């Protein structure tokens, strides 16, 4: 007798069958993360005043453009209780139509000058900008309590600043330019005389 064996051929699985046989494990969807809003604009004015009191005039100006609450803190009284008149505060570069930007003839200090303040190997001459100083006097100068003058090489700028401050303090809003209250709260003036004003050759 002949024995017959039937061999079953393996079934050919198509792509669709493979997809059905796969067990898909779906990860549970996470709830959408809500973006937390910044709380910096909600700082109390007392804290903002304390922070602004440590900033320079330039830093206060840029910080006031962050939001409306920081812009309001720019004009708060304690933000300007101490005013430091540094070398290039409220100044502009001196320009001459014949020779261009003016440079200091001889560097009269040992302090290194940044490259952006140099022209032709010499420091650029800065003079007090009366428009900026007038705007400062009209807006925040009434809050000055302590005036600090660090060592500076241009005494003319210091002279012009004190002239304008004295004029505002005397007029007290009696003319069309000044405002009341300027100079009435000042109780301390600190001036540091520079001892290294002469060139090295001297």
Copy the structure tokens of residue 179.
């405002």
What does the pLDDT read at residue 165? Answer: 92
Structure confidence at residue 34 (pLDDT): 55
State the DSSP H helix or E strand holding residue 127, giving kind and residue range, or none if neither: strand 126-128
Distance of CA 6 to the CA centre of its chain: 89
Residues of the chain with confidence (pLDDT) below 50: 7, 105-110, 113-121, 202
What pLDDT is recorded for position 169?
A: 92
Give the model's pLDDT for residue 119.
47
Read off the pTM: 0.65
**Would you state the pLDDT for residue 152?**
83
């Amino acid at each position: 007798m002949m024995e017959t064996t039937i061999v079953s051929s393996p079934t050919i699985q198509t792509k669709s069958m493979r997809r059905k046989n796969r067990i898909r494990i779906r990860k549970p969807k996470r709830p959408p993360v809500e973006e937390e809003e910044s709380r910096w604009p909600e700082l109390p004015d007392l804290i903002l005043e304390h922070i602004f009191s440590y900033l320079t005039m330039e830093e206060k100006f840029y910080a006031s453009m962050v939001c409306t609450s920081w812009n309001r803190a720019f004009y708060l009284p304690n933000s300007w209780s101490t005013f430091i008149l540094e070398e290039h505060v409220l100044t502009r570069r001196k320009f001459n139509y014949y020779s261009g930007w003016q440079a200091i003839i001889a560097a009269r200090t040992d302090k290194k000058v940044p490259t952006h303040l140099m022209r032709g190997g010499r420091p650029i001459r800065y003079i007090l900008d009366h428009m900026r100083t007038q705007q400062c006097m009209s807006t925040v100068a009434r809050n000055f309590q302590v005036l600090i003058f660090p060592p500076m090489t241009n005494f003319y700028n210091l002279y012009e600043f004190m002239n304008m401050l004295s004029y505002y303090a005397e007029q007290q809003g009696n003319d069309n330019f000044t405002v009341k209250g300027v100079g009435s709260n000042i109780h301390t003036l600190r001036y540091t005389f520079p001892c290294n004003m002469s060139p090295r050759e001297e």
